[in-house]
């Protein structure tokens, strides 16, 4: 029997990665789909009257095996892919889309769900059960169950096409990132780059058996070069390469994919009775409508723009005075911002990095989780991993009960997509009286240790780690009955609250004193620097806010209107960016063709949610600050009302129960210095 279709007889039922072969996946998917179909058929042919238990609960657990295999496979496709896995993904995705449609368009099944749904007032259900019933009913009504047969067939075709197009978009992006390299032969061309970054670039070249130094488009290589390298021509070359991913009119071009994905999403929404894709998506979010999102973005835009313009003028004047730069370009932004920041605050990333050794930062995150939620993290070598870089931990509560299994994967490599994310290999749920604990993972791309130095993080990377760890805590502390309502299975404009909230501790003296210690001397980060860090937190917040808003506006421009009249991706994008533009446009660059969040990931019509959740996180942290950043009552309430609850209740209700009131954007504007 295929290893993937069997129960894993391992510590805590973790995935036996070293025993799984890529070739196991396709047959395992086919078996799991067949098993799910058989279970669903049993629900359909059951002659007992449809009930919450024999219909809704039975359906909730009908595809656990398939969901487990999907989690393993698609997480590997993101973090440790290769040509074989990518080919399997292209075969599997249409199968999964078809199965999903088979379920969503099953008239007998929907008929039974509808009977239970119409009896909901008489069933004495708990809040969680009500939420599950509503979610199941909507998953059918919102996915074609009410369509006639002709439209159901159209929906199947659209979903099949979309699953394939999104995969191809991501594959192109990864191939684009991997194929470019800046091979520098003269050390003078690295002028300005810190020694550890030079060493990392040297190591990159050695691995490829090349002379000199290699700068790649992976973030740990790209960002430091753009921030520190004095050679403006090379910064321009690198920035242009980064900005034209998927926009080179070749076999990896994503323009046609962007147009097709957005048009198919619109057609799908229309078919289901919605005006646009955004109307369809937002019905299930806190924001509810595109109009609310437009108002939200517009309000922040009006407040941030004057600050952003003033900051841009200051930066332009500084570059002119420093190096005679007459017109500031995009490839000048990080470099002169870093110089200006250093001048204003007498602090920079190069000074800070020695205090942020990766292992110390991880330990700091663990200590903070212990202070807030009583969690203990025990490193273990007993859990199998998919790559040698991955480290595993058992997460225990104060009574040493297992809370979760935690995987951490921190370094870039060939088969791993860029960026940072949290994911899970298994959700938390209760089945047959057993509280099944989650297997949670965070994946980042930080600089690898070199021969002479450990992995030292920039402050931005420190906040990234805390951000993903916040998502992980949301997954770990889940305590619900049903897997589809567990952990991070919440509205997408609520899911960023725990992650963005955790970032706040990176600026607090009480938190930093736990882990910000010099990697050589063990000396604590100077306390005067912590005050500077807080001030740095407000540095160029107008420009940063404008950048975030531009992404949100671009997302809505593709999804909150009929995109069928859009013929030219670049022209469309340029028009959208005109209200947030500070730097001159670069003709050969395009954002949409590399915007994986919305064209490959799940953020279509949802990119605004980062800012939306910032309003919540600033408001929530202001509450902590009023009592103390490790206040036990507030952290207990956070765990009880938000982190453990997943999607079991409306997020507005959960937040107000935790905070005692609705959130306002005052705390966010105050924190960013935009008042």
**Residue positions annotated with a catalytic role:** 468
The answer to whether the CB of 555 falls within 8 A of the CB of 603 is yes
Which long-range contacts link 289-297 to residues 24+ away (Cβ below 8 Å)? 290/556, 290/560, 290/605, 293/552, 293/556, 293/560, 293/605, 293/608, 294/556, 294/560, 296/608, 296/611, 296/612, 297/549, 297/552, 297/553, 297/556, 297/608, 297/611
**How far apart are alpha carbons 370 and 672 in whole angstroms?**
29
The answer to whether the CB of 4 falls within 8 A of the CB of 69 is yes
For residue 130, count CB atoms less than 10 angstroms from its CB and return exposed for 0-12, middle for 13-18, buried for 19 or more.
middle
Spatial CB neighbours of 446, under 8 Å, sequence gap ≥ 6? 220, 358, 410, 411, 412, 455, 457, 461, 465
The answer to whether the CB of 282 falls within 8 A of the CB of 276 is no
The answer to whether the CB of 610 falls within 8 A of the CB of 548 is yes
HSE-CB at 29 with a 13 A cutoff on CA atoms is 21
Which helix or strand (DSSP H or E) is residue 566 part of? Answer: none
Nearest to 31 by CA among 74, 65, 60, 76: 65
Q: Is 656 helix (H, G, I), strand (E, B) or coil?
A: helix
Q: What are phi and psi of 348, to 5 degrees?
A: -150, 175
HSE-CB at 101 with a 13 A cutoff on CA atoms is 22
Nearest to 580 by CA among 539, 605, 543, 608: 543
**How far apart are alpha carbons 104 and 141 in whole angstroms?**
8
Q: Is 429 helix (H, G, I), strand (E, B) or coil?
A: strand
Nearest to 365 by CA among 508, 511, 537: 511
């Amino acid at each position: 029997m295929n290893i993937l279709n069997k129960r894993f007889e391992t510590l805590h039922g973790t995935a036996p990665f070293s025993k799984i072969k890529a070739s196991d996946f396709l047959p395992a998917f086919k078996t799991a789909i067949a098993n799910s179909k058989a279970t669903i058929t049993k629900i359909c042919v059951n002659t007992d009257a449809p009930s919450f238990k024999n219909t809704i609960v039975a359906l909730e657990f009908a595809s656990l095996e398939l969901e487990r295999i999907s989690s393993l496979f698609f997480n590997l496709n993101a973090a440790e892919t290769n040509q074989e896995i990518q080919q399997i993904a292209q075969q599997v995705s249409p199968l999964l889309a078809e199965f999903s449609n088979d379920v969503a368009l099953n008239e007998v099944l929907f008929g039974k769900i509808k009977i239970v749904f119409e009896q909901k007032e008489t069933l004495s259900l708990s809040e969680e059960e009500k939420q599950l019933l509503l979610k199941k009913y909507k998953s059918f009504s919102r996915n074609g169950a009410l369509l006639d047969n002709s439209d159901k067939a159209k929906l199947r075709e659209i979903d099949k096409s979309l699953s394939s197009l999104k995969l191809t978009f991501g594959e192109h992006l990864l191939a684009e990132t991997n194929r470019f390299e800046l091979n520098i032969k003269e050390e003078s061309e690295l002028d300005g780059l810190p020694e550890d970054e030079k060493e990392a670039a040297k190591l990159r070249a050695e691995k490829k058996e090349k002379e000199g130094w290699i700068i790649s488009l992976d973030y740990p290589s790209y960002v430091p070069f753009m921030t520190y390298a004095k050679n403006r021509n090379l910064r321009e070359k690198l920035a242009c390469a980064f900005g034209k991913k998927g926009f080179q009119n070749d076999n990896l071009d994503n323009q046609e994919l962007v147009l097709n994905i957005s048009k198919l999403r619109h057609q799908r929404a229309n078919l289901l009775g919605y005006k646009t894709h955004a109307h369809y998506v937002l019905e299930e979010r806190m924001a509810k409508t595109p109009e609310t999102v437009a108002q939200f973005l517009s309000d922040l835009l009006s407040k941030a723009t004057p600050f952003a313009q003033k900051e841009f003028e200051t930066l332009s004047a500084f570059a002119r005075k420093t190096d005679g730069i007459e017109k500031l370009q995009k490839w000048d932004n990080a470099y002169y911002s870093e110089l200006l920041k250093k001048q204003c605050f007498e602090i920079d990333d190069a000074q800070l990095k020695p205090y942020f050794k990766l292992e110390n930062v991880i330990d700091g995150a663990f200590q903070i989780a212990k202070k807030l939620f009583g969690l203990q993290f025990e490193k273990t070598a007993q859990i199998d991993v998919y790559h040698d870089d991955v480290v595993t931990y058992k997460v225990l509560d104060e009574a040493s009960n297992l809370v979760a299994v935690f995987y951490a994967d921190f370094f870039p490599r060939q088969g791993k997509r860029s960026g940072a994310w949290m994911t899970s290999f298994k959700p938390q749920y209760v089945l047959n009286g057993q509280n099944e604990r989650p297997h949670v993972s965070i994946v980042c791309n930080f600089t690898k240790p070199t021969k002479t130095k450990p992995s030292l993080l920039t402050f931005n990377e420190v906040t990234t780690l805390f951000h993903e760890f916040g998502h992980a805590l949301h997954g770990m502390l889940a305590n619900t009955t049903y897997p589809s309502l567990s952990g991070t299975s919440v509205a997408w404009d609520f899911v960023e609250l725990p992650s963005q909230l955790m970032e706040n501790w990176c600026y607090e003296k009480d938190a930093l004193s736990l882990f910000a210690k010099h990697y050589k001397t063990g000396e604590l980060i100077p306390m005067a620097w912590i005050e500077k860090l807080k001030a740095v937190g407000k540095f160029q917040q107008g420009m940063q806010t404008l950048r975030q808003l531009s992404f949100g506006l671009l997302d809505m421009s593709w999804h909150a209107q009929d995109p069928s009249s859009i013929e030219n991706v670049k022209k469309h994008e340029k028009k959208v960016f005109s209200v947030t533009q500070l730097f001159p446009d670069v003709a050969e660059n395009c954002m949409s063709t590399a915007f994986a969040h919305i064209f490959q990931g799940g953020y279509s019509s949802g990119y605004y949610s980062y800012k939306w959740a910032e309003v919540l996180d600033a408001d929530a942290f202001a509450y902590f600050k009023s009592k103390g950043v490790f206040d036990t009552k507030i952290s207990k309430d956070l765990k009880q009302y938000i982190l453990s609850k997943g999607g079991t209740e409306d997020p507005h209700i959960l937040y107000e129960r935790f905070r005692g009131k609705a959130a306002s954007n005052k705390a966010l504007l105050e924190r960013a210095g935009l008042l």
